[in-house]
């Protein structure tokens, strides 16, 4: 039921772990399945230079976390926050319809991490 790419990212997740003293952290949970995803970002000159994730969830949640870190790395914040769940699913060569909500977690967590970074920056001013 999963594409080869999903299985590959689930078996060998990229950028898994946490960033100590991250510039922004975003956490989202899915109340229906109980899965949790946390994304950490490091930002330099408006570019996402470091990104890692911690996910407690299904294979699709782990694969989408892994994929979104690859899609967002080295992107300006404005571009990274435009990554949609459709982009994540497409880069994984598709997700079963029942698993599309899992890719929501990834894009929402990234947007939250960016929002967290921006609010911290404003507070520092």
In the three-class reduction of DSSP (H, G, I as helix; E, B as strand; rest coil), residue 117 is classed as: helix
* Closest CB 98 distance from ligand FES, rounded Å: 8
The helix (run of H) or strand (run of E) holding residue 47 is strand 47-56
DSSP secondary structure code for residue 32 in this structure: T
Identify whether 102 is a catalytic site residue: yes
Instruction: Tell whether the torsion through CA atoms of 25, 79, 108 and 86 is positive or negative.
Output: negative
77 vs 102 by CB, closer to ligand FES: 102
d(CA 125, CA 108): 26
Over the window 21 to 60, marking each residue x when it contacts ligand FES by CB under 6 A and - when it does not, the resulting string is ---------x--x-x---------------------xx-x
Tell me which residues touch ligand FES (CB under 6 A): 30, 33, 35, 57-58, 60-61, 99, 102, 105
Instruction: Report the catalytic residues.
Output: 33, 102
């Amino acid at each position: 039921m999963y594409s080869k790419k999903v299985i590959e990212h689930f078996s060998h997740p990229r950028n898994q772990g946490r960033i100590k003293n991250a510039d922004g952290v975003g956490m989202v949970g899915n109340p229906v399945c109980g899965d949790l995803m946390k994304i950490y970002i490091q930002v330099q000159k408006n570019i996402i230079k470091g990104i890692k994730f911690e996910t407690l969830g299904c294979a699709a949640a782990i694969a989408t976390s892994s994929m979104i870190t690859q899609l967002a790395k080295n992107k300006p914040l404005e571009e990274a926050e435009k990554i949609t769940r459709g982009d994540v699913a497409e880069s994984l060569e598709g997700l079963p319809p029942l698993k599309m909500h899992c890719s929501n977690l990834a894009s929402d967590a990234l947007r939250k991490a960016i929002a967290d970074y921006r609010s911290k920056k404003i507070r520092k001013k």
